[in-house]
Every structure is written in C-alpha cells, then in structure tokens.
C-alpha cells in the first residue's frame, strides 16, 4: 500500500511538471489565416507585428493580446511527501534510513559506535538474514564441492565450510590505529591482540605469522647488548665469571 502511495505521489509530481509548461493565450485577431477550410494558426517564431487599433479597441496594446499562463509546480509538497513515504517503507522493511544515505543533516564524521546506534534497525535485520543465509550457503557450497570431486576428481574433502560475514559497521583505519597505539602504550594488550584488532579478517595462523615478523624486525633494530657494569672486575674490567673484555685481554696476553 505504501509503495502504491509513493507511485501515486511521483505520478502526481510528473503530472504537475507536464501541466506546468507555459501556455500562450492569444487574441483571435493575431492568428493568421492559412487558407479556406484550414482554420487559423499562430506563428510563434514571428518577431515583428504591426500595431493596429482595430485589434481590440483604440486604447488596446499589442502586448495585451498575448497572455502567458503557467501553473505552479508543487515541488516542495511532493518532495516532502515522497521522502516521508520512503522512510515509512524502509522502517516497515526493517531498515534504518541512514543505511540508504538518508540523513537528518550534516555534521562531523561519525564513529562506528554512533553509526551502529543510528543503524540499529538495519543491523538487526542483517543479523536475522545472516542466520537464515549461513546454513543455506554452507549446504550449497558443500554440494558444489561434491560435484567438483565427482566430475573432475578434484582432491578435496567434501564438507560444509565455515561461512563468515564481516561486521556491518567498522571503524576507520586511523581510529583503529589510534586505539591500538593507546592500548599498547598502556601495556594492556599483546602484539597478537593488536594485530587481530588491525586485521579482524585474518585467521589465527596469519596473525601469528605477522606477530613473528614484527618481533623479528624489532629485535633486528635493537642495538647490541652491552655487559652490565655491576658484573665487571674492579681491577682489569673482566667479568665476574672470569672472561675479560676484548681489548684488555689482548693487552694482558701481549704483556
């Protein structure tokens, strides 16, 4: 019913545009005789006319013999009505208007939390559809794997895959990076958790590989460790376990 109402509003809007075209009301005396039995016609491209008092009276002007009529096009009324109907249709379908780019007004860029609160209705509808689609998609892919294995002898294990959908709303990369940096500075998350936050679509093996690469690069960038002065011998600078510093040991051997 609401879709029919929206169609009616747009039909009325287009009708206003069609009827809103300018019309010229012309005195009969300005029409040209195009021949016996062919009636009269007006040449809209004619640029010059001769003034004649016989047209409509002694005081009548030529401009008074042509009147332009143009009806109003109710743009604002149709626009507001159609916008309200669209919002009602989306609400009844289980979606938020913000999901389709219909916002209340401008403003700063919103965070994922603010977007989620605005699109709560759409996210709930999305979750319901995912619960319906996930098992059906898994069954279809399992059947396709069985066909591939039977017809093309593809060496694979026929089983239902894990169907995964990403989050409906995600923070910007800059926001995620700032959050990870703050948590790392506070010392409340590990490298593995940090990598998982930056790359939520990675599995555990990919995350662990990236953590290993990061730790290897950090170790390579660190300077060589120096001996602790607390363990040096006070006389010759040798370590407490009997080993000596390279330079001093060489001098002692030469002496």
| φ, ψ (nearest 5 deg) of residue 16 | -60, -40
In the predicted model, is pLDDT for residue 146 greater than 80?
A: yes
2 is written with which tokens? 């609401």
In the predicted model, is pLDDT for residue 100 greater than 90?
A: no
pLDDT for position 229: 64
Average pLDDT (237-255) is 49
Q: Rounded mean pLDDT of the chain?
A: 80
State the pLDDT confidence band at 67, using cuts at 50, 70 and 90.
confident
Whether the Cβ atoms of residue 156 and residue 148 lie closer than 8 Å to each other: yes
Q: How far apart are CA 180 and CA 46, in angstroms?
A: 76
Domain range summary for the chain, segments of one domain joined by +: 1-23+68-93, 109-170, 171-245
In the predicted model, is pLDDT for residue 62 greater than 50?
A: yes
- Which residue has 């109402």 as its token pair? 5
**Segment 178-213, tens digit of pLDDT:** 889 999 999 899 999 999 989 888 889 999 999 999
Q: How far apart are CA 56 and CA 110, in angstroms?
A: 68
Q: How far apart are CA 88 and CA 219, in angstroms?
A: 59
Output DSSP code: residue 21.
S
Q: For the chain, what percent of residues have pLDDT higher than 70?
A: 74
229 is written with which tokens? 């002065």
Average pLDDT (114-140) is 87
Beta strands in the chain (DSSP E): 23-26, 32-33, 40-41, 66-69
pLDDT for position 147: 94
In the predicted model, is pLDDT for residue 123 greater than 80?
A: yes
Write the CB contacts of 207 (distance below 8 Å, at least 6 apart in sequence).
192, 195, 196, 199
């Amino acid at each position: 019913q609401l879709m029919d109402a929206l169609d009616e509003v747009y039909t009325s809007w287009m009708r206003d545009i069609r009827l809103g075209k300018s019309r010229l009301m012309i005195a009969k005396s300005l029409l040209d005789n195009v021949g016996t039995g062919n009636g009269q016609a007006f040449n809209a491209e004619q640029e010059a006319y001769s003034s004649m008092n016989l047209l409509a009276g002694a005081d009548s002007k030529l401009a008074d013999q042509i009147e332009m009529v143009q009806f109003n096009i109710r743009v604002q009324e149709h626009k507001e009505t159609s916008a309200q109907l669209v919002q009602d249709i989306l609400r009844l379908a289980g979606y938020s208007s913000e999901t389709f780019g219909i916002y209340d007004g401008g403003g700063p860029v919103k965070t994922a939390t603010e977007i989620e609160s605005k699109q709560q209705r759409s996210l709930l509808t999305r979750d319901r559809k995912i619960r319906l689609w996930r098992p059906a998609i898994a069954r279809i892919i399992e059947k396709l794997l069985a066909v591939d294995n039977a017809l093309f002898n593809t060496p694979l294990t026929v089983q239902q895959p894990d169907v995964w959908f990403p989050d409906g709303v995600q923070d910007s990369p800059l926001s995620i990076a700032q959050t990870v940096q703050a948590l790392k500075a506070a010392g409340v998350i590990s490298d593995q958790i940090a990598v998982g936050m930056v790359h939520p679509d990675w599995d555990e093996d990919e995350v662990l590989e990236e953590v290993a690469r990061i730790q290897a690069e950090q170790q390579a960038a660190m300077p060589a460790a120096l001996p602790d002065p607390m363990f040096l011998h006070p006389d010759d600078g040798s370590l407490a376990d009997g080993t000596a510093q390279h330079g001093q040991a060489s001098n002692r051997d030469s002496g």
